[in-house]
Structure 1
Amino acid sequence: MVLYKQFKLCLLLSIITFSSVANANVRNTKQQEFIDVATLLPTALFDIRYYSSNNFVGKPIDGYKSAKCLLHKTTAYALQKAHKQAQLAGLNFKIFDCYRPQRAVDHFVRWVNDPTDLVTKATYYPNLGKDELLGGYIAAKSGHSRGSTLDLTLTDSEGTELNMGSLFDMFDTLSNTDDLRITTRQRANRYKLKNIMVAAGFAPYSMEWWHFTYKPQAYPDTYFDFEVK
């Protein structure tokens, strides 16, 4: 009986070990499907905000070891097509964020739950309390962690950002694509970006003019956590 119990325990441990190794192999295989977008868009501009302190938290964010834009290959190639259309119009892309590790999202959640840290309030959420950021703006899970979502804007041929009426990552209804307070020119600029992205297969997010997700997503139910490096 003792030998039988030992055999069952060894068998169970073997199954658990095999399952863990198999899952790790699957995750590694999926990770290999991500592309450094700069290799496909060498003339695009990259301002990866969460690698720096120039963001709504005011500090470099967990998981960003390099200022790279990583995306699943299907999204990256679709973005390449969109970029070509922007260039034909005499414009360029400036990209702020792409794949976002789950640990970065966790960092955002810790920040939003700290009522004493209000260093960036005047710039990024002047009209909202931190408790109002949860849900529509900051959530425990982000589509960015699936590898098919990115944040970007348009620039002219000299690299100057088009006036979109609000800063990237400004938590306010002013950032809604169709907010009534923006000017005719600002609305036109937002729609230049939106139309280029939609034509390439990306879906917009009405609350944030800069946010687009390629459809169909390669891994709609997976939230990756490997570092950007």
Structure 2
Amino acid sequence: MPEVESGVSGPCLCSNRRVRRILAGFVLLCGFVGMPKAAATPAAAAGLVDVRTVVSDAVVDLRYATPDNFVGFPLYPADARCLVHESLAPGLAAAAAALRPDVLVFWDCYRPHDVQVRMFQAVPNPNWVAKPGAYARSHEAGRSVDVTIAGADMGTGFDDFSPRSLAYATEGVSPSAQRNRARLRDAMQTGGLTVYAGEWWHFDGPGAGDPRPILDVPVN
């Protein structure tokens, strides 16, 4: 028997294949467009940034990620980051620039609420450790930092619970340490951060004392 012709010419078949390929590509493209975007990290969603993206030469020495602190054991995970609220970024960049060629060392930045609770349980004295409340302020809001100058004599170490740790202390603090503290204050003030009179290393950004919702964002 003679073969029955399909009635579909070669050029038409090629055209149909091209149409199918175009449609398949369109469907695939729509699938990509419709895919949900990756969720922001908790830190980014809370407006927190890694200080090393702000101050490229910063030395991050988070004491609460080590046993070298007043409680004697780590309160942060070993891979903790120094996080600050994004509103602090321009000020910290300006402070670091004013201090160069010396370098800022960050001892503490954003602090989760549960860590603040554990600190106050260890030292329940509001003169030295802020009493945790129903709102986030200062470190808990990522709007305060504890800093020093790399390699400089500042008169005391971090979290030295003595009168020598007062920002403007003179008794028991050498003239060179007093000058270094003044230099640190001047640099931080260039960026709009003010020293806490009770601790020479603690600086508050604008609005640090305002009550805000508790974040409880992981530091790592």
TM-score range (shorter-chain normalised) is 0.7 to 0.9
Q: Which runs of 5+ in 1 are unaligned?
A: 1-27, 113-132, 156-160
SS at match of 1:68: coil
Q: Determine if contact 1:164/1:189 at 8 Å carries over to the other structure.
A: yes
Structure-2 change in CA distance of 1:219 and 1:205 (3 Å): closer
- Aligned-pair Cα RMSD in Å: 2.3
Q: Corresponding residue for 1:74? A: 87
State which structure, 1 or 2, has the greater radius of gyration over its C-alpha atoms. Answer: 2
Q: Which amino acid aligns with 2:108?
A: D
Residue 165 (str. 1) matches residue 155 (str. 2) = yes
SS at match of 1:137: coil
SS at match of 1:82: helix
The 5-angstrom pairing of residues 181-192 of structure 1 reads 181=171, 182-192=173-183
Count the aligned residue pairs: 176
Q: Corresponding residue for 1:227? A: 218
Deviation at 1:66, TM superposition (A): 2.4
Q: Determine if contact 2:54/2:93 at 8 Å carries over to the other structure.
A: yes
Structure-2 change in CA distance of 1:100 and 1:29 (3 Å): closer
The 5-angstrom pairing of residues 114-133 of structure 1 reads none
Structure-2 change in CA distance of 1:219 and 1:35 (3 Å): farther
SS at match of 1:167: coil
Deviation at 1:187, TM superposition (A): 0.6
Distance 1:54 1:29 in 2: 25
Residue 146 (str. 1) matches residue 159 (str. 2) = no
Residue 104 (str. 1) matches residue 115 (str. 2) = yes
Q: Determine if contact 1:74/1:218 at 8 Å carries over to the other structure.
A: no
Q: Which runs of 5+ in 2 are unaligned?
A: 1-41
SS at match of 2:107: strand
1:134 to 125, 139, 156: 125
Residue 85 (str. 1) matches residue 98 (str. 2) = yes
Deviation at 1:154, TM superposition (A): 0.7
Deviation at 1:188, TM superposition (A): 0.5
Distance 1:218 1:194 in 2: 19
Q: Which amino acid aligns with 1:75?
A: L
Q: Determine if contact 1:146/1:219 at 8 Å carries over to the other structure.
A: no
Distance 1:213 1:98 in 2: 10
1:212 to 198, 203, 209: 203
- TM-score, normalising length: structure 2: 0.73
Structure-2 change in CA distance of 1:210 and 1:139 (3 Å): same
- TM-score, normalising length: structure 1: 0.70
Distance 1:218 1:65 in 2: 28
Q: Corresponding residue for 1:121? A: none
Q: Determine if contact 2:155/2:177 at 8 Å carries over to the other structure.
A: yes
1:58 to 72, 76, 100: 72
Structure-2 change in CA distance of 1:183 and 1:43 (3 Å): same
Aligned-residue sequence identity (percent) comes to 29
